[in-house]
Amino acid sequence: MYIVHSMVHVPKGKADEVIAIYQNRSRLVDTFEGFEAFHLLQNDKRPEELTVHMQWVDKAAYMKWVTSEAFKHVHDLEKNYPDQELAAIVPKVSKYQVVAT
């Protein structure tokens, strides 16, 4: 299993806007081979800290996703948010190989 976290700090007062974007996401990734789960996490103590948690069957499946046209399409949409402050956010991405369960 392979886990990818993309953590962002959104501007104060904009967490609900970002959450709404993810609640209405395209879901293109959901049908991608090897994809297992998506969760948007909000930090209990710092509500402006949001983390996208994605679970994949293995690293190879994730790499197929990030090199796909669907991935490019989803991330091109992010660059075109009407709110340029949100469009400029750069996530901190961490990738993990699950070694025990």
pTM of the model: 0.87
Beta strands in 21-84 (DSSP E): 35-42, 49-56
Which tens digit of pLDDT belongs to each residue from 52-98? 999 999 999 999 999 999 999 887 776 667 777 887 888 999 999 99
pLDDT value at position 10? 94
Architecture of domain 2-97: 2-Layer Sandwich (3.30)
pLDDT value at position 87? 75
Closest CA to 19 of 3, 42, 36: 42
Residue 94, H or E segment: strand 92-97
pLDDT value at position 79? 66
Which tens digit of pLDDT belongs to each residue from 23-59? 988 898 999 999 999 999 999 999 999 999 999 999 9
Domain boundaries, the chain: 2-97
Please check whether residue 47 is in contact with residue 35, taking contact to mean a CB–CB distance below 8 angstroms: no
Please, which residues bridge with residue 5 across strands?
53, 94
Please check whether residue 22 is in contact with residue 40, taking contact to mean a CB–CB distance below 8 angstroms: yes
Neighbours of 24 (CB within 10 A): 8
